[in-house]
Chains A and B, each alone.
Chain A
Amino acid sequence: DIVVTQSPDSLAVSLGERATINCKSSQSVLSSSNNKNYLAWYQQKPGQPPKLLIYWASARDSGVPDRFSGSGSGTDFTLTISSLQAEDVAVYYCQQYRSTPQGTFGQGTKVDIK
């Protein structure tokens, strides 16, 4: 099974500053057939289900603000919030969906305001 590990477990960033979350997969999630990385990022606020932010490692889902960006390929990925807003306080998860029938989630990274 592919194991997904996030770092750090938590971080605190000042409003307007950059937040960076890392995600490492134990195996490559790059598809050789279409050159897409099957890696997604989610945001979860208290009492709510996760919300899809990024798919294919770097494509923003509909309605997601452009301060959220995803990068990386193969086994190493990053989610960046370019200018942290108060409403971005949440737990963020990465998920690989290269292996089917199930994908696996990272353990989550909690983002707070410093």
Chain B
Amino acid sequence: QVQLQQSGPGLVQPSQSLSLTCAISGDSVSGDTITWNWIRQSPSRGLEWLGKTFYRSKWNYDYALSVKSRINIKADTSKNQFSLQLSSVTPEDTAVYYCVRDRHRELQGGGFDLWGQGTMVTVSS
């Protein structure tokens, strides 16, 4: 059974960096039809896609324009996991953060079909 297990702190101080990790079991972070995403959810912003990484002969990354200057997503093939780093956080970054698998939209139908359990991250001093 494929699972995503998130880890990382639930409290981050303003201006610091938020770091979360998503461990994958039952699938490969290097899968050639899959992308690995970070999505957050807050009452004010709803469900907001932040970025993704995927392997197609080389590692690729795409980020939402809203966070592009602050975000970094990395894949670690040795641990079969991927991570999120969001720098210079403010209280507006307070949200539940999810790691999410996205299927190939032409071959497999697309859609975010597998989600981590979610991590509530609060930005506060």
User: Which A residues touch B64, using CB under 8 A?
Assistant: 102
B interface with A by C-beta (< 8 Å): 46-49, 52, 62-64, 98, 100, 103, 105-106, 109-113, 115-118
User: Which B residues touch A34, using CB under 8 A?
Assistant: 106
Q: Is the interface of B mostly helix, strand, loop or mixed?
A: strand
B41 → A minimal CB distance (Å): 8
Contact with B along A85-111 (1 / 0, CB 8 A): 000000001010100111111011000
- Max chain B C-beta neighbours (<10 A), residue from A51, A93, A101: A101
A58-108: which have CB < 8 Å to B? 59, 61, 93, 95, 97, 100-105, 107-108
Q: Give Cα A108 to B46, complex, Å.
A: 8
Show 14 A/B contacts (Cβ-Cβ < 8 Å), sorted by A.
Answer: A38-B105, A49-B98, A49-B100, A49-B117, A50-B115, A51-B115, A52-B111, A56-B109, A97-B110, A101-B52, A102-B49, A102-B64, A105-B47, A107-B46
Given A93-B47, A103-B49, A49 and B116 contact (CB-CB distance below 8 Å): yes
Chain B residue with Cβ nearest A108: B46
Chain A residue with Cβ nearest B63: A101
Partner of A55, one of B62, B109, B117: B109
Q: Give Cα A34 to B105, complex, Å.
A: 11
A23 CB-CB contact with B under 8 Å: no
A90 → B minimal CB distance (Å): 14
A97 touches B46 (CB 8 A): no
A interface with B by C-beta (< 8 Å): 34, 36, 38, 40, 42, 49-52, 55-56, 59, 61, 93, 95, 97, 100-105, 107-108
User: Which A residues touch B106, using CB under 8 A?
Assistant: 34, 36
A49 touches B110 (CB 8 A): no
User: Which A residues touch B52, using CB under 8 A?
Assistant: 101
Partner of A102, one of B62, B98, B118: B62
B110 touches A40 (CB 8 A): yes
Chain B residue with Cβ nearest A98: B105
Chain A residue with Cβ nearest B106: A34
A38 touches B110 (CB 8 A): yes
B32 → A minimal CB distance (Å): 17
